[in-house]
Structure 1
Amino acid sequence: MAQLKTEVKALVVGGGAVGTGIAYHLAKKGWDTMLLERDELTSGSTWHAAGLLPLFNMGYATTHIHKYSVDFYKSLEAETGLDAGFFVVGNLRMAQTQDRMDEYMLYSTTAETAGVHHEFLSPKEIADRWPLVRTEDLRGALFHPQDGYINPADVTMAMAKGARQRGVTIERKWQVDGYEWAGDHWRVSVTRMEDRGGNLLPTEDREVIRAEHVVTATGNHAQRTAKLLGIRIPAIPVEHQYIVTEQDPALVQWRSTNPQHPVLRDADAKWYVREERGGWILGPYEKNAPARFEYGVPDSFRADLFPLDLDRIEGEYMSFIHRIPSSETVGLKDDYNGPICYTPDGNPLVGPVPGLRNMWLAEGFSFGITAAGGTGHYLAQMMVDGEAEIDMASLDPKRFGGWMTTEYAARKNEEAYDHVFILHHPDEERPAARPLRTSPAYDRQKVRGAQFGQVNGWERPIYYGPLDAPEGFDHDTRSFRRGGWWQYAVDEAKAIRETVGMVDATAFAKHRVKGPGATAFLDWFTTNKLPKVGRINLTYALTDAGTTRTEYTIVRIAEDDYYLVSAGAWADYDGDYLRKSVQDKEAEFGRIEVQDVTTQWGVFALAGPNSRALLKSVIKDADPETALSNKRFPWLSSHRIELGMCPVQAIRVAYTGELGWELHHPIEMQNYLFDLLEKAGQAHGLKLVGARAQNWLRQEKSYRAFGNELGRDATPLEADLPRFVDLEKDFRGKAAMQALGIRSKCVTVLIDGPADADPWGREALFDEAGEKVGRLTSGGYSVAFGKSIGMGYVRPELAVPGTRLKVRMLRELWDAVVTEDSPYDPSNARLRQDG
């Protein structure tokens, strides 16, 4: 037996489509790479995958990944000489309802921003082109002519050959049994496996591989990987079954003179169908498909399948017969029911492992064949270049915090499976495993009509609806247009502009950074000047590539004691980057202590012209009349105050752009403070306000949001935030940021849009000549201007107030104009008002 290579730059663990795609692209970037597979290449989910390549995806990063894969697979045969088995037959996604067509129209503009070609077809056009498809109950369809399906084994072998040609060593029958970090590399313990009587069993042959970087692409074995690394990976397989029919005589006759049908998707019936040797493959996404292998794949499970459960897919099967009537008399030929990995939100886990160095995850791929090539491309950019050209934060493994458990992941993964074809409304809130993380005031808010969304597991009010809903109003009804919740959000936004509103912001991520080295560290870590004691500032931590990694509000408690507040959805994402950066710099700057205090502090954001009067009525101070004045409590400052019996770290800042304070309080006193403020607020017009109204209001102030305007594909200067970047000092990523220049620029636009819809922040922007010039990253409605509003990026020369643009909504172009920054109260007079 040939000697196993024991030293390598990058080790990829897992020989499915995803692993081979990563190995190929790392080698293409020039890294010495080895791939290990415990069994045979494609022996995991790859072998029983249906091989579909759906370009349709509502996420910006995932859309780019899928598009890259489809384009890349078409080039493999020329490079490797192996046919990747790509059948470019197109992908027809049908719609039975107007709501489904609305979904396609929203997707359409997302696809435009990524350059994904697509067409809309009418029922008649479908029937004329593919007469075997019943169309009288359809509203239309979305068609991707460049899409299709591929043979999973063939494309994997083609990528493997391409990887070998670029110098990758691929070793089969080697299993990883342990990982040990040695300070600058990984020591990876491996055991040779062999077939014995159909079982895959370990031998006495063991080796240790030295690898600077490790990527795990272990598919269904992700739970074993998690145990070896001592982490949690919410990638757990769910059963997915599909059936293959006998030949359909009508299809055989059709094919005698016509090309293949496209991959057919009846999204409202929850299935896909494609041709297979004169018959059909039907793949349903039914309810009640169970999660499997929650605690690991049994050693006896190799390229195995589960028993078919026909009763579970009876409804989908009958709807298939309805849609393709010729299939009614066709028998079943084969059936497959195998494990396909999912994650709680359906997106894969791609990026660095929390808490570990040079360890990368590529796990949880429910559409692994579609994503394999693109994941390899963008992950290789992250590993070799420091960042990908697109923002990959939406796929980062740290989007699921340390609170996540196996039970949570299993239930949410089952939900993600049966939601594959559920309408993906932008205001979608999935119910499984909820409520889980609740602030103390949750029950009080619920009985006052709060409708909750989930952010990082936290239940957060998104709007307050009526306790006795009017006839025809349903809180659970979602829409791609202005839903039933819209007017309630309007009323909440008006309350903050006219009286006073209170938002529960407890989900904010909160970290305490202190110690002798804290000041020097934070000065290097962030772009802005550090605030003086008792003051605050807004600042950014950059990636080494110069783009925006995190946004912080920093409160300086004492000389070397800081309180950092960041976006609630990104608590572990921010915390991991902060802690790793401290570890890198502690020897240089001195001792630094980092504490995650997110769950210790609740937050109420109180804002509106009456907010000061309300607080005056409950503050305990020797001179309550002046305690909240500009002289004693100026804008952008922080003080410890007492509200009734509750000690509060009050910060004079408001994400809504009105006079206001964030009230950070001991979380165990939250209900006391809620009751106190609610009672006192009756005299001042207090209204409870949810996250949707707050999102609209912050756009009126052009406040950028992390994950929207702010991310790893743009710098703070491109976000047009030079006032928060101190170029007189040195900070992490400064030179890289300056080298990037201004490739595009963030703007706020006011939109004369349709009467029943607002943008969601996924729409393409065009100039008046019809050329695509940018995209929205946020959208909503402005109560101040009485029209739609949005924020996004355009070419720098167009980022001038008064520039006229067009926004694509519902397949039409609507007039938009670039406004001045902070179109509502641009001088910040309302924020600074005294009293």
Structure 2
Amino acid sequence: MKTQVKALVVGGGAVGTSIAYHLAKAGWDDVMLLERDELTSGSTWHAAGLLPLFNMSYATTHIHKYSVDFYKTLEEETGLNAGFAVVGNLRMAQTDARMDEYMLYASTAETCGVAYEWLTPEQIKERWPLIETSDLKGAIYHTEDGYINPADVTQAMAKGARQRGVMIERKWQADAFHWNGAAWEVTCIKMVEKGGNLVPSDEQIVITAEHVVTASGNHAQTTAKKLGIKIPAIPVEHQFIVMDKDQALVDYRANGGREHPVIREADAQSYVREERGGWILGVYEKNAPACFEYGVPDSFRADLFPLDLERIEEQYMAMIHRIPSCEESGLKDDFNGPICYTPDGNPLVGPAPGLRNMWLAEGFSFGITAAGGTGYYLAQLMVEGEAEIDMASLDPKRYSSNWMTTEFAARKNEEAYDHVYILHHPDEERPAARPLRTVPAYDRQKARGAQFGFVNGWERPNYYGPVGAPDTFDHDARSFRRGGWWQHAVDEAKAIREGVGLIDATAFTKHVIKGPGATAFLDWFTCNKLPKVGRINLTYALTDHGTTRTEYTIVRLKEHEYYCVSAGAWTEYDADYLRKAAEDMAPEFGYIEIQDVTTQWGVFAIAGPKSRDVLLEVIKDADPATALSNKRFPWLSARQIELGMCPVNAIRVAYTGELGWELHHPIEMQNYLFDLLEKAGEKHGMKLVGARAQNWLRQEKSYRAFGNELGRDATPLEADLPRFVDLDKEFRGKAKLVETGVRVKCCTLLIDGPEDADPWGREVLYTEDGTRVGRLTSGGYSVAFGKSIGMGYVKPELAVEGTKLQVKMLDRLWEATVTCDSPYDPKNETIRKDG
């Protein structure tokens, strides 16, 4: 058995096997896979093997589509039939809202090249007469997917991996991991059978690997402990039952009837597919418990839990309603096994936090569907440094170890399970494990009608609804169109454009970077010029491929001390990249100190034509009348000021594009400052404003947002931000940035859309002749122009003011026109207003 390899993959399920296969296919010829038991002995063996293309995530849709396409090629390559039944996937709707959901999804699917068709209830009945359709609104039908045998596809990938030189070792457990500064030393123990259990033997070896990938499935919590990190992947019990023959189905097929597609009824939280003349029913019911919260017992192998039929009675009765002929079918077999989940239902794929060359592929609730694509894109990350799609939405560091706990993960994973088939509104907010991280002013905001969103554990106001509204108000306000919150956001946006608004931006990520090497390091780490002392600049940290890794507002406090502000949702994601880069470059640049001060500083953003008037009511200064003037406090500068008794690090910048300031204050003084500003703002009509209105306003200014327009699949030049790139200096990723050129280009569009809906930033873009040319990355409503607005990427020649395009919304094409950059106040006269 070899003891030195390029890459060691830990876990022999479908995901781990795919990763090993794709690493070898990508050119690494020294790859080993370890499995503590037998291949497929984890969740893979009892998976139902469904391959749904349906997914609201751009990245995950790409992953699922790759898997479906890839699995169809395995038999030709390996000679093994993976058992892929391409029967299609029929996703039915009982309500108009569900059809709205499918229409939003369909536009996203088009951006990824996923085919679909619409079926009426009559068309469903005509094709599959056993299905009861009288209460349906319609369905979306994928013809390209279906179901597969999980064990067969895993074995086929394993054979393909072996053919490419991968070493697969069974009955070996990775027991300890040690980074020696250059590689991982992995202590591996031989596992043996004893009394029906799998137990460690006295035989052990140490394998040295340059890279390690963990794909440990249900054992993720054990893996986390061995690595000294947190992984919010915890299994939840999932049940499905296999029924005896349905005579009506047998007769239907005998008479030439086509095999039913996988039948998904989201409104009944279940899926059904044919199985040898009978049916399989799988459910995503309420109250399914998390399990193995602190690790899988050694005695648990390819085992199952007792079936809990009472828990799925409602879904069983719904199946009988949908397929009446199955009512007389008996129960043939049942499965209740662990399937790993994460708090948002998406897997954890990418570099492990704080560790070098350690890669995670954990938390797969749809592991068979995602296995092929995960192997492909993770191999790109490892071999080439980046994938062709932005994988940030799946990055393990989206859940910070500073606040994520086992209890949080378990409760949120249970919620993710029972939310599989809910209506996935784009404005969805899930209630479990909340509130968790709250700012001091949380209770004040709530008392004033704040409806909160979840951002990196923080509670952040999305908008302010009716004061005293019941807890159900926000849920009832959601829609795939203009929900009940829409008018509140309109009023808030107008308040900032016409008067003054106050936004809680405390969730911003904040780092202090200082030391003798800080200036040289940041000059290399970011692509724009560094600001002078007392000034600020917007800049980007790039990947080695020249794409956008992080957006920073940098405030230069001293010659070698900087205050860096980045997106609130990405604290650990940003911190990990920043620290690793600083460690790498310290020998060249000298000592660099990095402090995460996110929780030390609260932030209020005050903006609007009357924002200066409000601050002048409370500022303490020798000459208060001129304290906030352009001469003493110019645009894009920072100053320490005093508001009442609160010391404030004020930054003259506004993400809304109006006159305004960010007020960074000691977090313990937040309530004092909130009360002070609220009282001062009364006579000026100041309104509390949430994130949704702010999102609309920043699009009127064409301000790009990280995770939307900015990401690891586009460069700042493709984001059309050349003014923030200094090509006269050397910086990380510069060579690739220049070499890449401009493949696509970001632009802003004004949209003549439906009267009751706006784009969400997931929609496909077409030319007037029907050619698909791009996609939206943001969307919303413009109070300045009285119509829908969006931002997105198209071919460079189309990103020209006046270009006529079409955007797909609610299964229709609507006219959209490329507008100038910053269509609201393009000369920045408002934001520079003197006083």
| TM-score normalised over the length of structure 1 | 0.99
Query: Paired residue for 1:417?
Result: 417
Query: Paired residue for 1:698?
Result: 698
Give 3-state SS (helix, strand or coil) of 1:698's partner.
helix
Query: Paired residue for 1:294?
Result: 293
Query: Paired residue for 1:154?
Result: 152
Structure-to-structure mapping, 1:82-93, within 5 angstroms = 82-93=80-91
Structure-to-structure mapping, 1:515-530, within 5 angstroms = 515-530=515-530
The answer as to whether partners of 2:476 and 2:484 remain within 8 angstroms in 1 is no
Query: In the aligned structure 1, how far is the partner of 2:325 from the partner of 2:470?
Result: 46
Q: Give the Å deviation of 1:468.
A: 4.9
Runs of 4 or more above 3 Å deviation:
468-477
Query: Paired residue for 1:17?
Result: 14
Query: Paired residue for 1:669?
Result: 669
Q: Give the Å deviation of 1:258.
A: 1.8
**Bigger CA drift: 729-738 or 252-261?**
252-261
Find out whether 1:834 has 2:831 as its counterpart.
Answer: no
CA RMSD in angstroms comes to 0.9
Query: In the aligned structure 2, how far is the partner of 1:200 from the partner of 1:478?
Result: 50
Query: What amino acid does structure 2 have at the position aligned with 1:788?
Result: S
Query: In the aligned structure 2, how far is the partner of 1:784 from the partner of 1:668?
Result: 37
Query: Paired residue for 1:566?
Result: 566
Give 3-state SS (helix, strand or coil) of 2:775's partner.
strand
CA pair 234-473 structure 1, distance change in 2 beyond 3 A: closer
Query: Paired residue for 1:783?
Result: 783
Query: What amino acid does structure 2 have at the position aligned with 1:713?
Result: D
Structure-to-structure mapping, 1:240-279, within 5 angstroms = 240-256=238-254, 257-279=256-278
Query: In the aligned structure 1, how far is the partner of 2:103 from the partner of 2:427?
Result: 16
Give 3-state SS (helix, strand or coil) of 2:199's partner.
strand
Query: What amino acid does structure 1 have at the position aligned with 2:177?
Result: Y
Query: Paired residue for 1:542?
Result: 542
Structure-to-structure mapping, 1:451-462, within 5 angstroms = 451-462=451-462
Give 3-state SS (helix, strand or coil) of 1:716's partner.
coil
Find out whether 1:342 has 2:341 as its counterpart.
Answer: yes
Give 3-state SS (helix, strand or coil) of 2:460's partner.
strand
The answer as to whether partners of 2:462 and 2:691 remain within 8 angstroms in 1 is yes
Query: In the aligned structure 1, how far is the partner of 2:386 from the partner of 2:80?
Result: 31
Query: In the aligned structure 1, how far is the partner of 2:589 from the partner of 2:791?
Result: 39
The answer as to whether partners of 2:449 and 2:469 remain within 8 angstroms in 1 is no
Q: Give the Å deviation of 1:197.
A: 1.9
1:40-68 CA distances to partner (integer Å, 9 max, x unpaired)? 00000000000000000000000000000
Query: In the aligned structure 2, how far is the partner of 1:472 from the partner of 1:37?
Result: 47
Query: In the aligned structure 2, how far is the partner of 1:237 from the partner of 1:150?
Result: 22
Query: What amino acid does structure 2 have at the position aligned with 1:691?
Result: A
Query: What amino acid does structure 2 have at the position aligned with 1:329?
Result: E
Query: What amino acid does structure 2 have at the position aligned with 1:18?
Result: V
1:595-654 CA distances to partner (integer Å, 9 max, x unpaired)? 000000000000000000110110000000000000000000000000000000000000
Give 3-state SS (helix, strand or coil) of 2:422's partner.
coil
Query: In the aligned structure 1, how far is the partner of 2:750 from the partner of 2:473?
Result: 29
Give 3-state SS (helix, strand or coil) of 1:89's partner.
coil
Query: In the aligned structure 1, how far is the partner of 2:277 from the partner of 2:602?
Result: 62
Query: In the aligned structure 2, how far is the partner of 1:470 from the partner of 1:427?
Result: 18
Query: In the aligned structure 1, how far is the partner of 2:653 from the partner of 2:702?
Result: 15
Query: What amino acid does structure 2 have at the position aligned with 1:563?
Result: Y
Query: Paired residue for 1:8?
Result: 5
Q: Give the Å deviation of 1:469.
A: 5.0
CA pair 475-280 structure 1, distance change in 2 beyond 3 A: closer
The answer as to whether partners of 1:451 and 1:475 remain within 8 angstroms in 2 is no
Give 3-state SS (helix, strand or coil) of 1:41's partner.
coil
Query: In the aligned structure 1, how far is the partner of 2:738 from the partner of 2:332?
Result: 61
**Bigger CA drift: 475-484 or 610-619?**
475-484
Query: Paired residue for 2:226?
Result: 228
Find out whether 1:358 has 2:357 as its counterpart.
Answer: yes
Q: Give the Å deviation of 1:478.
A: 1.4
Query: What amino acid does structure 1 have at the position aligned with 2:116?
Result: H
1:125-170 CA distances to partner (integer Å, 9 max, x unpaired)? 0000001000000000010011100000000000000000000000
Q: Give the Å deviation of 1:475.
A: 5.0
Unaligned runs of 5+ in 1: none
CA pair 463-250 structure 1, distance change in 2 beyond 3 A: same
Give 3-state SS (helix, strand or coil) of 1:832's partner.
coil
Query: What amino acid does structure 1 have at the position aligned with 2:266?
Result: A
Query: Paired residue for 1:555?
Result: 555
Find out whether 1:29 has 2:26 as its counterpart.
Answer: yes
1:752-791 CA distances to partner (integer Å, 9 max, x unpaired)? 0000000000000000111000000000000000000000
The answer as to whether partners of 1:475 and 1:485 remain within 8 angstroms in 2 is no
Q: Give the Å deviation of 1:708.
A: 0.1
Give 3-state SS (helix, strand or coil) of 2:77's partner.
helix
Give 3-state SS (helix, strand or coil) of 1:778's partner.
strand
130, 136, 139: which is aligned to 2:128? 130
1:578-600 CA distances to partner (integer Å, 9 max, x unpaired)? 00000000111010000000000
Give 3-state SS (helix, strand or coil) of 1:156's partner.
helix
Structure-to-structure mapping, 1:328-407, within 5 angstroms = 328-402=327-401, 403-407=403-407
The answer as to whether partners of 1:344 and 1:409 remain within 8 angstroms in 2 is yes
Give 3-state SS (helix, strand or coil) of 2:831's partner.
helix
Query: Paired residue for 1:70?
Result: 68
Query: In the aligned structure 2, how far is the partner of 1:177 from the partner of 1:815?
Result: 59
1:661-701 CA distances to partner (integer Å, 9 max, x unpaired)? 00000000000000000000001110000000000000000
Give 3-state SS (helix, strand or coil) of 2:334's partner.
strand
Q: Give the Å deviation of 1:474.
A: 5.9
Query: Paired residue for 1:801?
Result: 801
Find out whether 1:189 has 2:184 as its counterpart.
Answer: no
Q: Give the Å deviation of 1:467.
A: 1.5
Q: Give the Å deviation of 1:476.
A: 3.6
1:368-406 CA distances to partner (integer Å, 9 max, x unpaired)? 000000000000000000000000000000000111000
Query: In the aligned structure 2, how far is the partner of 1:322 from the partner of 1:687?
Result: 51
Query: What amino acid does structure 2 have at the position aligned with 1:666?
Result: P
Q: Give the Å deviation of 1:114.
A: 0.1
Query: Paired residue for 1:435?
Result: 435
The answer as to whether partners of 2:451 and 2:474 remain within 8 angstroms in 1 is no
1:237-274 CA distances to partner (integer Å, 9 max, x unpaired)? 00000000000000001111122100000110000000
- In the alignment of these two chains, the number of paired residues is 832
Query: In the aligned structure 2, how far is the partner of 1:573 from the partner of 1:527?
Result: 19
Find out whether 1:47 has 2:53 as its counterpart.
Answer: no
| TM-score normalised over the length of structure 2 | 0.99
Structure-to-structure mapping, 1:415-494, within 5 angstroms = 415-469=415-469, 475-494=475-494
Find out whether 1:215 has 2:181 as its counterpart.
Answer: no
Q: Give the Å deviation of 1:30.
A: 1.2
CA pair 19-473 structure 1, distance change in 2 beyond 3 A: closer
